[in-house]
């Protein structure tokens, strides 16, 4: 992974007809590749390519469909020299993606959806994002029940770490993610953002994905309570990026790259000025 002495920016390319905020926009492989290259021009360090929507309530796509969506895009972006990550819960997709040039596996299920995933990632040697997850899209909202969300997410992530290490993943491959919006309501998400430093105490790099999620739209609801549309929550995403970078996050996963890339550079400049 690029080591640039600041929080990294991961730009999102969802090659899906139905993703959370950008579903359908980059569904054509050539358009997805062009968008990935644009994100790099705008300052993305990593381009995250996904072929399965994880929005609440989404149905799963077949393995064949997911592969057909992501593989050509990953191959072409990698050929262009882009550092690509693959957003998948399937070991076979992760394997094909790494063979096509992906340099990171981003598994929103943290190895829970496909038991073969940790071994495949261990063999590949690439960094592995282990996200906090309590179940597939159809079930995730009903599992958003916590006493102390930061403590529980931290404990559940620690268990996932122990499990993937036992499967052969190396310590230095692991990146953790609290999984904002995945089996979490707005209050949980805010607590987790406030608790980034506590999650960092687990000793692994952290990635934070707040971009265009429902909790931002709810915070910014109009006086009648109608949530702000996703497309108008990018300034709020930027605020989360700034806070996360300041708190020591390793990477932020965002849709609107340029302002976030600017923000992490501002944070790095201020931190540099302090030391
Ligand atoms: N969120 C989404 C998809 N993949 N990966 C990681 N590591 N962290 C996240 O928070 C995350 C993710 C859902 O957002 P999208 O549908 O807008 O891509």
Q: With a 6 A CB cut-off, is 210 part of the ligand 1 pocket?
A: no
pLDDT tens digit string along 196-217? 999 999 999 999 999 999 999 9
Average pLDDT for the chain: 95
Ligand 1 pocket test target in 32, 209, 211 with most atoms within 8 Å of CB = 209
Helices (H) and strands (E) in the chain, counts: 10, 8
**Residue 21 — pLDDT band, cuts 50, 70, 90?**
low
Instruction: Map tokens 């020591």 to a residue.
Output: 248
Q: Does domain 8-273 have CATH number 3.50.50.60?
A: no
Cβ atoms within 10 Å of 146's Cβ, excluding its own: 19
Mapping DSSP onto H, E and C, the string for 48-73 reads EEECCCCCCCCCCCCHHHHHHHHHHH
Concerning whether 60 is annotated as a catalytic residue, the answer is no
Concerning whether 253 is annotated as a catalytic residue, the answer is yes
Q: With a 6 A CB cut-off, is 55 part of the ligand 1 pocket?
A: yes
| Domain ranges across the chain | 8-273
**Alpha-carbon 33 to chain mean position:** 19
**Residue 27 — pLDDT band, cuts 50, 70, 90?**
confident
pLDDT of res. 1: 84
pLDDT tens digit string along 104-161? 999 999 999 999 999 999 999 999 999 999 998 888 888 999 999 999 999 999 999 9
């Amino acid at each position: 992974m690029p080591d640039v002495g600041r929080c990294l920016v991961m730009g999102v390319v969802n090659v899906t007809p139905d993703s959370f905020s950008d579903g359908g926009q980059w569904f054509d492989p050539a358009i997805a590749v062009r968008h990935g290259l644009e994100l790099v021009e705008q300052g993305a360090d990593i381009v995250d390519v996904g072929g399965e929507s994880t929005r609440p309530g989404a149905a799963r796509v077949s393995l064949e469909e997911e592969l057909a969506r992501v593989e050509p895009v990953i191959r072409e972006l990698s050929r262009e020299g882009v550092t690509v990550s693959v957003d998948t819960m399937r070991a076979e997709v992760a394997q094909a993606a790494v063979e096509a040039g992906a340099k990171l596996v981003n598994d929103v299920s943290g190895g829970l959806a496909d038991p073969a995933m940790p071994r495949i990632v261990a063999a590949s040697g690439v960094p592995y994002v282990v996200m906090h997850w309590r179940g597939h899209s159809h079930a995730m909202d009903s599992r958003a029940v916590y006493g102390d969300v930061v403590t529980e997410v931290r404990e559940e992530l620690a268990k996932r770490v122990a499990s993937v290490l036992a499967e052969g993943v190396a310590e230095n491959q692991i990146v953790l993610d609290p999984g904002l919006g995945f089996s979490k309501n707005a209050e949980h998400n805010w607590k987790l953002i406030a608790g980034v430093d506590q999650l960092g105490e687990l000793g692994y790099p952290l990635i934070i994905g707040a971009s265009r999620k429902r909790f931002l739209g709810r915070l910014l609801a109009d006086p009648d309570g109608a949530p702000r549309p996703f497309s108008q929550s990018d300034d709020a995403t930027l605020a989360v990026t700034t806070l996360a970078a300041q708190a020591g996050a390793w990477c932020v996963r965002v849709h609107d790259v340029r302002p976030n890339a600017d923000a992490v550079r501002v944070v790095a400049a201020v931190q540099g000025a302090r030391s």
